[in-house]
Amino acid sequence: MKTTKFSHLLFSLVLIAALLLAAVPSTPVYAMSAAAPQQSTSIGAADSASSTAAAGAVVCRSITFWRNGYRVTVRVCHRVHRASV
């Protein structure tokens, strides 16, 4: 076997091995789900429950759409006030 053929074969095997390793996810499956749990309170209101009840909570959602051939994700957040009981 010629040296060039051997190097091409070795390169091909290394490339296939790299592609196989890249196909295996390094994160758990539950972390890759589309409906991942999101933090529903703001950072300032997360330290005490009384400030969360007084100020309300911030709820965020991600909106994904196609624009000029690109996928664009916009994060929309709004404050939810606690209803009077």
Q: Which domain holds residue 52?
A: 3-80
Single-letter code of the amino acid located at 46: A
pLDDT at 28: 65
pLDDT at 11: 92
What gap in Å lies between CA 49 and CA 70, rounded to an integer? 41
pLDDT in tens, the chain (85 residues): 667 788 899 999 999 999 888 887 676 666 665 554 554 444 444 444 444 455 678 889 999 988 888 899 999 998 887 766 5
pLDDT at 20: 87
Give the closest residue to 76 by CA, choosing from 50, 38, 47.
38
pLDDT at 23: 81
pLDDT at 74: 92
Residue 85 within a domain = no
